[in-house]
Chain A
């Protein structure tokens, strides 16, 4: 297994370098260069079909499960291409966790949801401490501390999503990928997740795909705008500080999209 430790001078948490992504012969994403800033929140926005989720899933090799999928270019994590043959994708997914659109807790207790993944990854410490610490980080502890043995499925949607974030945190990732994490949640639960993201970004890097531009504007530090080319391949049009992208984008395609004049 490849050892990965962050060099102190590294200016990115993960980097897509000339990344193209194919489903069979169809090129879904082309020539993406994206350097994700460490311990910040990067939002990926763009219309449906622009490849933003594909790129997100490429960051922890989640697309390995799609039989015809393959990439050109590389994704560098600690200076190493995560698609190199000597890289263990399971190790990558521990360091780069993922939270999905629909909350998907295991059909187990709240407690077990936290400790299960950690145990598989070799956690030998005090499980009670791990559960409390992780649930506190996910801003869920006060709501569930008296019911840790209750089924996770009994929680509300927003609580389930925070539990999924806690579950991802339990294995101490460096990056968390979030694919539309709030699309199934009400506005209050959404704002709680956004507050949580802000808190977590003090120590970890977050990349979020969202269709909700207000969310990207509110919650992220950096924004990447993707769109589709005439050949239907997704491409990154503009990447910059969120404040700049939403107040003064440089590319007309970005301007048209974020002002709602796309299509």
Chain B
């Protein structure tokens, strides 16, 4: 076998993608935890973490472009690198969602609106778990596992609907809650979008394994207006 240099560099980039993924997972869990504890200081640190996520994303993108230019990868190698370019974009956006949740916490200030913590917590756990497993399937090029993960998106959507309903009820009960409830809608929205983006990662795994660019089923094809 030849191409040790290419193999070594692809493995290195895969490690970096996993590292970026774990930074995003940590940021997301931290953002929800800070909201739960109403810890504004912790939320502020998410800005710095997001800057590190962005930096890491650009570093990986650069490394991939250099590798394509210098090693001329083909077939599966090329698909893998092209897929990683897509995946790091998804991860970077998820990092923005975590920062967005931090921003909501800061803007809520000392507002006393009842927050549906249980559902938000569950959404975050599910989305992070889906992300974690999607990255594992991605690195292992496991199309079977990747195809199964998007089906879990239904659960996230159910929780999203639940949170939305309870926030609407809070607005009806007390119009002074409207601004705060509106902000909290964004928290649920960001978590729901994160799970959607996991589906995109899974699609890239199927692409690496089979060469086919397929849209995976997630039963969530409506209200897709902000899907990039």
A residues with CB within 8 A of B? 213-214, 217, 246-249, 254-255, 258-263
B residues with CB within 8 A of A? 1-3, 6, 72-79, 210-211
Flag if A247 contacts B3 (CB, 8 Å): no
Which B residues touch A260, using CB under 8 A?
2-3, 6, 74
Residue on B with the closest CB to A260? Answer: B3
Beyond A261-B1, A261-B3, is A248–B75 a contact (Cβ under 8 Å)?
yes
Which B residues touch A261, using CB under 8 A?
1-3
Flag if B2 contacts A247 (CB, 8 Å): no
Residue on A with the closest CB to B207? Answer: A248
- Give Cα A260 to B73, complex, Å: 9
Flag if A255 contacts B76 (CB, 8 Å): yes
Which A residues touch B211, using CB under 8 A?
247-248
- Give Cα A247 to B212, complex, Å: 10
Which A residues touch B73, using CB under 8 A?
259
Known: A214-B72, A248-B210, A255-B76. 15 other contacts (CB 8 A): A213-B72, A246-B74, A247-B74, A247-B75, A247-B78, A247-B79, A255-B75, A259-B74, A259-B76, A260-B2, A260-B3, A260-B6, A260-B74, A261-B1, A261-B2
Flag if A259 contacts B77 (CB, 8 Å): yes
Which residue among B76, B79, B210 has the maximum number of chain A CB atoms within 10 Å of its CB?
Answer: B76
- Give Cα A153 to B74, complex, Å: 38
Which B residues touch A263, using CB under 8 A?
2
- Give Cα A263 to B76, complex, Å: 18
Residue on B with the closest CB to A254? Answer: B75
- Give Cα A263 to B3, complex, Å: 11
Flag if A258 contacts B2 (CB, 8 Å): no
Tell me how far the C-beta of B116 lies from the nearest C-beta in chain A, rounded to whole angstroms.
46
- Give Cα A256 to B200, complex, Å: 28
Flag if B79 contacts A259 (CB, 8 Å): no
Task: Choose from B3, B74, B76, B79 the contact partner of A217 (Cβ within 8 Å).
Answer: B74
Residue on B with the closest CB to A246? Answer: B74
- Give Cα A249 to B3, complex, Å: 18
- Give Cα A200 to B134, complex, Å: 48
The 5 closest A-B pairs by CB, nearest first: A248-B211, A258-B74, A260-B3, A259-B74, A259-B75
Which B residues touch A255, using CB under 8 A?
75-76
24 A/B residue pairs, CB under 8 Å, sorted by A? A213-B72, A213-B74, A246-B75, A246-B78, A247-B74, A247-B75, A247-B78, A247-B79, A247-B211, A248-B75, A248-B210, A248-B211, A254-B75, A255-B76, A258-B74, A258-B75, A259-B73, A259-B74, A259-B75, A259-B77, A260-B6, A260-B74, A261-B3, A263-B2
Which A residues touch B76, using CB under 8 A?
255, 259
Tell me how far the C-beta of A164 lies from the nearest C-beta in chain B, rounded to whole angstroms.
28
Tell me how far the C-beta of A249 lies from the nearest C-beta in chain B, rounded to whole angstroms.
6
- Give Cα A258 to B75, complex, Å: 7
Tell me how far the C-beta of A155 lies from the nearest C-beta in chain B, rounded to whole angstroms.
31
- Give Cα A263 to B1, complex, Å: 6
Residue on A with the closest CB to B73? Answer: A259
- Give Cα A246 to B211, complex, Å: 11
Which B residues touch A217, using CB under 8 A?
74
- Give Cα A62 to B43, complex, Å: 76
Which residue among A213, A217, A248, A254 has the maximum number of chain B CB atoms within 10 Å of its CB?
Answer: A248
- Give Cα A261 to B75, complex, Å: 12
Which B residues touch A248, using CB under 8 A?
75, 79, 210-211
